[in-house]
Amino acid sequence: MNVVTIERNVLAKNDELAERNRQLLQLNAVFCVNLISSPGSGKTSILERTIERLKGTRRIAVVEGDVQTDIDAQRIAEYGIPAVQIVTRGGCHLEANLVAQALEAIDLAVCDLLIIENVGNLVCPASYDLGEAHKVVVISTTEGEDKPLKYPEIFRRASAVIINKTDLLPYLNCNMAVLRENILSVNPHVKLFETSCTTGGGIDIWCHWLASHGGTQ
Amino acid sequence: MNVVTIERNVLAKNDELAERNRQLLQLNAVFCVNLISSPGSGKTSILERTIERLKGTRRIAVVEGDVQTDIDAQRIAEYGIPAVQIVTRGGCHLEANLVAQALEAIDLAVCDLLIIENVGNLVCPASYDLGEAHKVVVISTTEGEDKPLKYPEIFRRASAVIINKTDLLPYLNCNMAVLRENILSVNPHVKLFETSCTTGGGIDIWCHWLASHGGTQ
């Protein structure tokens, strides 16, 4: 029972720090999304396509969360935008205090859009507010239609869900109608996007939503 | 700092309970594997194919771990074998005490092979011994070659890795040589399998390994 209490304290402390991050971002008119998915759903690829589309009109910065390695920050840095890697060394989710440290390394005065790529995990990132304006969940068509029912919390807390890897649909046993229905059954108010980073399909619509929600346009 | 200490206590307690599970399973000559992967890598499908192949020669039981729903246990129960569902209600991994409770619901005297399907998560399940003989990681070809480097702990602790969804290789940007190399770079002693639950490819070889490691053949 002690553990439950302690977990609650940890979450309360996290929420407090997240609120500080949120205020700092709002003060600087930075729109922030927290990208969450299973490992391998294509978060980094979506980030790359998003940067390609929006780089000319938005000043973007990225915070990468990984258990080990800075592979993702290296991929992002190639686009010539600020990228900070948080290595959690075993931690299965980002926390607000880690993001606060990352924010110190970014010049927020010259940033419009901050994208945080969380650790690949559909469970714990749901509980940890980072100070973002919106949580966005990425699910790939290869993962099966039942995932929104099996990991409802993260879908419930998301403002948008991107169904990625739609180019693989002809080769999969994935019923898109059922997948969409399952997502909407746990969160009827969520915005749904369908993308393929291979063909580029759907990226424009997603980027339009993202850009239109920023604070400084 | 308190949190770190408490986490250590939790793990020490878990290890103690896992050891009890291990002894109970050994006493009953039950071979036990702990199946771990990201959500949607195909653990349940591999389980289904495995049950189809081994059902005639091995008395199999299954423990299913999920955050919500008993969808997986229902799928397994259709094969007419004992299936116990653990619903963690937000917990991102199985723990030894939950498995101990599940074992009470299984008649171990008439069981040769127990397969535990962990919660879909590549991070925390690595730290929680359940009393299994071997950890087996499933990674799908759709997840990208870098996952063993980004989630090294789970690959390091595995006795075997199943690379699943090989039927999708013609449609993916997945370099199997690099994926295998990355797995072996973090764990040179791991046994590698390649499977497709759609075509059935590789299932025989995996099942042969599984059956030959059981205690009662």
DSSP assignments along B97-147, one per residue: HHHHHHHHTS-GGG-SEEEEE--S-SSGGGG---S-SEEEEEEEGGG-TTH
pLDDT given at position A8: 63
- Distance of alpha carbon B83 from alpha carbon B64, whole angstroms: 7
**Average pLDDT in chain B:** 93
Q: B134 pairs with which residues across the strands?
A: B33
Stretch A158-162: mean pLDDT, rounded?
A: 98
The mean-pLDDT minimum among A138-142, B197-201, B210-214 falls in B210-214
Residue A35 belongs to what H/E stretch?
Answer: strand A31-37
Residue A35 corresponds to which amino acid?
L
Question: Cα separation of B89 and B68, whole Å?
Answer: 6
Min Cα separation A110/chain B (Å) = 31
Residue A4, classified by CB atoms within 10 Å of its CB into exposed (0-12), middle (13-18) or buried (19+), is: exposed
Indicate if the pLDDT at residue B6 is higher than 60.
Answer: no
pLDDT at B8: 63
Q: Is the pLDDT of residue B4 over 80?
A: no
CA dihedral A146, A150, A152, A158 (to 10 degrees): -60
Contact A121 B119 (CB under 8 A): no
- pLDDT for the residue A98: 94
Task: Please state, in angstroms and as integers, the Cα–Cα distance from residue A77 to each residue in A61, A72, A107, A200, following that order.
Answer: 10, 9, 15, 21
How many A/B residue pairs have CB atoms within 8 Å? 112
Interface of A with B (CB under 8 A): 2-3, 6, 10, 38-40, 66-69, 71, 90-92, 119-124, 127, 140, 142-144, 146-147, 149-153, 165, 167-168, 171-173, 198
Name every chain A residue with its beta carbon within 8 A of the beta carbon of B38. 38-40, 120
Residue A102 confidence (pLDDT) above 90: yes
For chain B, helix (H) and strand (E) counts, in that order, are 8, 7
Under a CB-based contact definition with an 8 Å cutoff, are residues A183 and A161 in contact? yes
Please check the confidence at residue B3 and state whether its pLDDT lies above 80: no
Neighbour count for residue B75 (Cβ, 10 Å): 17
Q: Predicted confidence band at A6 (pLDDT cuts at 50, 70, 90)?
A: low
Q: Give B121-162 pLDDT, tens digit per residue.
A: 999 999 999 999 999 999 999 999 999 999 999 999 999 999
Residue spans of the domains in chain A: they are 2-213
ipTM here: 0.82
Give the model's pLDDT for residue B123.
93
**pLDDT tens for each residue of A194-212:** 999 999 999 999 999 999 9
Q: How far apart are CA B10 and CA B114, in angstroms?
A: 25
Task: Identify the pLDDT of residue A4.
Answer: 44
Closest partner residue to B151 (CB to CB) among A39, A123, A172 is A39
Q: How far apart are CA B145 and CA B139, in angstroms?
A: 10
Fold of A2-213: Rossmann fold (3.40.50)
CA B74 to CA B83: how far, in whole Å? Answer: 8
The SS3 assignment for A143 reads: helix
pLDDT tens per residue, range B172-208: 999 999 999 999 999 999 999 999 999 999 999 999 9
Residue of B nearest to A152 (CA): B68
Residues of chain A in contact with residue B122, where contact means CB-CB under 8 angstroms, are: 39, 120-121
- pLDDT at residue B1 greater than cutoff 70: no
Give residue ranges of B with CB < 8 Å to any A CB: 2-3, 6, 10, 38-40, 66-69, 71, 90-92, 119-124, 127, 140, 142-144, 146-147, 149-153, 165, 167-168, 171-173, 198
- Confidence (pLDDT) at B10: 76
pLDDT for residue A81 is more than 80:
yes
Mean pLDDT of chain A: 93
Q: Which of B73, B129, B118, B116 is nearest to B92 (CA)?
A: B118
8 Å CB contact between A90 and A64: no
Whether the pLDDT of residue A108 is over 60: the answer is yes
Give the percent of chain A with pLDDT over 90: 88
Is pLDDT above 60 for A13? yes
CB B32 within 8 A of CB B132: yes
pLDDT at B57 over 80: yes
Separation between Cα atoms, residue A170 and residue A198, nearest integer Å? 14
Q: Which range (A162-166, B9-13, B22-26) has the least confidence?
A: B9-13
